[in-house]
C-alpha cells in the first residue's frame, strides 16, 4: 500500500488534472444532479444539504471537483496552486485489496483530523479505467490506485443533520 505526494511532478499533475477533466467531459451522468445526491435543504434529516458542499470549481483550478453546489467561490479565495495530493494504492485490485484500502483510508482520514487537516476525496481519476491506468503509469508504480486525496488546511464546515438515534437503532431485549 502506498500513500504518495507526487503532485510536484508535472507529469503526475497533468495526468490527474486530465483524468478529472476527462471524466467530466466523457461521462456527464457522473455529475449527479443535486436533487439526487442527497436530501438537499429539506428538513427530513436525510442526505447532505447543499450548503455543506464547497464552492463550485473554476477554470483555473488544477483539480476541479464535482459540483455539489452552485455556490460561487468568494473573491480572493482561490485554492492553492500546488496542493498536497496523496494517492492511496494497493498491490492488487481484488475485493480484499479494496477493503485494505478502505481501512488505510480510514487511518489517513483519522490522522488528518487529529492533525487538524482538511481532506477531500477526488474519486474522479479512479472511476474511469483509462484515467486510472494513466494515473498508475504517471506514478510509476505497479498495483492499483484506489483513491486520490487532497490534504491541507481549510475552513471548518457546518455540521450536517443526523437522524435521531431511535430512527436508526432498534433495541431488542432478549429474555434469558
Tell me the pLDDT of the chain (176 aa) as tens digits.
Answer: 444 455 455 666 666 666 666 666 665 544 444 444 444 445 556 667 766 666 777 766 666 666 666 777 776 666 666 678 889 999 999 999 999 999 999 999 999 999 988 888 888 888 888 888 888 888 888 889 999 998 888 777 677 778 888 888 888 889 87
CA distances (Å), origin 148, targets 47, 48, 74, 75, 119: 23, 22, 25, 27, 10
Are 12 and 139 contacting, i.e. CB atoms less than 8 angstroms apart? Answer: yes
pLDDT attached to residue 65: 66
Structural domains present in the chain = 1-30+82-156 (3.40.109.10)
pLDDT for res 103:
96
Which residues are 3's β-sheet partners? 88
| 3-state SS, residue 109 | helix
Decide: helix, strand or coil at residue 100: helix
Task: Name 102's Cβ contacts closer than 8 Å, sequence gap at least 6.
Answer: none
| pLDDT for position 10 | 60
pTM > 0.75: yes or no: no
Q: What is the pLDDT of residue 3?
A: 47
Q: Are 126 and 147 in contact (CB under 8 A)?
A: yes
Cα 48 off chain centre by:
15
pLDDT number for residue 95: 96
- In the structure grid, which three cell numbers stand for residue 110, read together? 483519522
Amino acid at each position: 500500500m502506498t500513500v504518495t505526494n507526487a503532485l510536484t511532478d508535472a507529469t503526475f499533475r497533468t495526468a490527474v488534472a486530465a483524468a478529472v477533466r476527462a471524466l467530466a467531459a466523457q461521462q456527464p451522468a457522473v455529475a449527479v444532479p443535486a436533487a439526487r445526491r442527497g436530501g438537499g435543504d429539506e428538513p427530513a434529516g436525510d442526505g447532505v444539504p447543499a450548503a455543506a458542499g464547497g464552492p463550485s470549481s473554476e477554470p483555473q483550478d488544477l483539480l476541479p471537483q464535482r459540483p455539489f453546489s452552485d455556490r460561487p467561490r468568494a473573491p480572493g479565495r482561490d485554492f492553492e496552486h500546488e496542493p498536497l495530493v496523496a494517492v492511496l494504492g494497493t498491490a492488487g485490485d481484488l475485493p480484499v485489496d479494496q477493503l485494505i484500502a478502505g481501512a488505510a483510508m480510514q487511518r489517513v482520514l483519522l490522522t488528518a483530523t487529529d492533525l487538524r487537516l482538511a481532506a477531500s476525496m477526488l474519486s474522479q481519476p479512479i472511476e474511469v479505467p483509462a484515467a486510472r491506468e494513466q494515473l498508475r503509469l504517471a506514478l510509476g508504480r505497479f498495483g492499483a490506485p484506489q483513491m486520490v486525496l487532497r490534504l491541507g488546511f481549510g475552513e471548518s464546515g457546518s455540521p450536517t443533520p443526523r437522524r435521531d438515534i431511535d430512527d436508526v437503532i432498534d433495541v431488542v431485549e432478549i429474555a434469558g
